[in-house]
Amino acid sequence: MENNSSISEFLLLEFSAALELQILHFILFLVLYLVTVTGNLLIIAAIAFDHHLHTPMYFFLMNLAMQDIGSVSVIIPKAMMNSIMNIRLISYSGCVAQVLLVVFFLASDVAVLTVMAYDRYVAICNPLQYEILMNRTACTQMMVSAWISSLLYAMLHTGGTFASPFCSNVVDQFFCEIPHLLKLACSDLHQIEIGAVLFSFVITLGCFVFIVVTYISIFSAVLKIPSVQGRKKAFSTCLPHLIVFSTFLFTVCFAYLRPTSERSSYLDLAFTMIYSIVPPLINPVIYSMRNTDMKNALSRLLGMRQSLMDTFSKFVL
C-alpha cells in the first residue's frame, strides 16, 4: 500500500476500454464544453458591450458566467484528454489544484446566486431604496467578498483533504472529487475534512433557506403588481434562478453527503455530472432565452458581428 509521501499521481475513472466509446466520450465532452463556454462567453460579451445591461443584476450574472467557464475548464479538458489518449493519470499537484479550483468555483457559485437573490429582493420588494443599497461600490464589495471567501474556503477544504496519507491512488471518479479522495485516506485525519464538508452543508443549506425566504417575499410582492406584464417579467427573472440553485444544491449535497461505495456507480457519475456540468450549461439558456433584455443584447451583439463580417468581406473582395 502507498501513502501520500510516495504517491506522485492518481488514476482517475476509466469510462471504457473500447476505443469507439473513448472517442464517443471525447466528442460528448467536447460538445458540452464548447456549448457551455460559447454560451457563457456570449453572456459576458453582451453584458460588457451593451450599456443597457450595466445594472447590478447583469453584473452578478456576468460574474456567474465567468465562474461557470472556470468550473467546466477545470474538469472537462482533462477528462477529454484522458479519453482521447486512453490514459487515466493526473499528477498529485494537478489533483491538488483541481480540488482547490473545483471547490473555489462551487463555493463562489453559491455566493453569487445568494447575492443575486438579495438583488432581486431589493429590486422588487424595496425599489425606492434599490439605487442606494445596490450601488456600484456595494456590488463590487459583494463580489470581491464572494471571491475572497470562496478562495479561503477552497484552501481550507484542499488542506483538509490532502492532510491525510493515502493508501491508494485509484480515484473512482473522472476528476479529483473530495468524497472519493477521502475514501482513500489511511488515517483518521480525514475525519476533519468530513466535519468541514458537513459544516459546508449547513452553510449551503442556510443560503438555500435565505433564497427560499427571499423568493417567498418576492412572489408575495409580485402578486400585488397590477400589470400582467410586470408580473411576468418579475417571475421570468426569479423562477429560473430558484430552479438553477435547487438543482445545484440537491445534486451536490447528494454527491458529497452520500456514503461512497467501494466502486463508483452510474448514480455517482450521474449526480457528479449534473452538479458540475449541467448548471454552467443551462445558465446561459435560462438567463438569456427567458430574458427580453438579454435576448435583445445578444441580437445586437450578433448583428454587430455580422455587419463587421459583411464589411470585412466587402473590403477583401
Instruction: Assign residue 28 the CATH number of its domain.
Output: 1.20.1070.10
Please choose, from the candidates 157, 166, 158, 184, the residue with its C-alpha nearest in 3D space to the C-alpha of residue 7: 166
Domain membership flag for residue 2: no
Domain membership flag for residue 137: yes
pLDDT of 314 = 46
Partners of 9 in the β-ladder: 91
Residue 146 belongs to domain spanning: 9-308
Q: Return the C-alpha cell found at 284.
A: 446561459
* Cα–Cα–Cα angle for 200, 202, 206, rounded to 5 degrees: 115
CA distance 155 to 91: 18
CB 47 within 8 A of CB 64: no
Domain membership flag for residue 313: no
CA distance 47 to 294: 8
Q: Return the C-alpha cell found at 161.
A: 483533504
Please choose, from the candidates 70, 69, 94, 65, the residue with its C-alpha nearest in 3D space to the C-alpha of residue 7: 94
Half-sphere CA count of 66, side-chain side, radius 13 A = 15
Domain membership flag for residue 129: yes
Number of domains in the chain: 1
Domain membership flag for residue 39: yes
Domain membership flag for residue 34: yes
Please choose, from the candidates 55, 40, 52, 12, the residue with its C-alpha nearest in 3D space to the C-alpha of residue 109: 40
User: Residue-wise pLDDT tens for the chain (317 aa)?
Assistant: 344 446 888 988 877 777 788 888 889 999 999 999 999 999 999 899 888 888 898 999 999 999 999 999 999 999 888 888 888 889 999 999 999 999 999 999 889 989 988 998 898 888 888 988 999 999 999 999 999 999 999 998 898 888 888 888 888 888 998 888 888 888 776 677 777 778 888 888 888 889 888 888 888 887 777 766 666 666 666 777 777 778 777 777 777 777 665 555 677 777 788 888 888 888 888 777 667 778 788 888 777 554 544 443 344 34
Domain membership flag for residue 317: no
Whether pTM > 0.95 for this model: the answer is no
pLDDT of 283 = 82
